[in-house]
Amino acid sequence: MLYLIDASVYVFRAYYSMPPDMTDVDGNAAHATFGFARFLCDLLERAKPQFIAVAFDESVMTSFRNRIYPAYKANRDPAPEDLKLQFACCREFCRLLGVREFGSPEYEADDIIGTLATRARTLGVRTTIVTRDKDLAQIIRAGDVFWDYASNTRYRYDEIEERFGVQPERIPDYLALTGDSVDNIKGVPGVGPKTAGPLLKEFASLEELYDNLDSVAALPIRGARTLAAKLTQHRDAAFLARRLTEIACNVPLDVQHTELTRGAIDTVGLETFCDKRKFGPMLRRQAGRLSSP
Q: Are 153 and 89 part of one and the same domain?
A: yes
Q: Are residues 28 and 121 in the same domain?
A: yes
The reported pLDDT for the residue numbered 249 is: 98
Asked whether residue 173 falls in the same domain as residue 208, the answer is yes
CA distance 74 to 271: 40
pLDDT range class, residue 224, cuts 50, 70, 90: confident
Query: Is residue 23 domain-shared with residue 154, that is, in the same domain?
Result: yes
Same domain, 256 and 173: no
Q: Give the pLDDT band of residue 9 (cuts 50, 70, 90).
A: very high
236 band by pLDDT with thresholds 50, 70 and 90: very high
* Tally of domains within the chain: 2
- Kindly report the CATH number assigned to the domain that includes residue 231: 1.10.150.20
Q: Is residue 283 a contact partner of residue 41, using CB atoms and an 8 Å limit?
A: yes
Asked if residue 91 has pLDDT above 70, the reply is: yes
CATH code of the domain covering residue 107: 3.40.50.1010
Residue 106: which domain range? Answer: 2-166+248-289
Supply the pTM of this predicted model: 0.94
pLDDT tens digits for range 26-56: 999 999 999 999 999 999 999 999 999 999 9
Q: How far separated are the first and last CA of the chain, in Å rounded?
A: 13
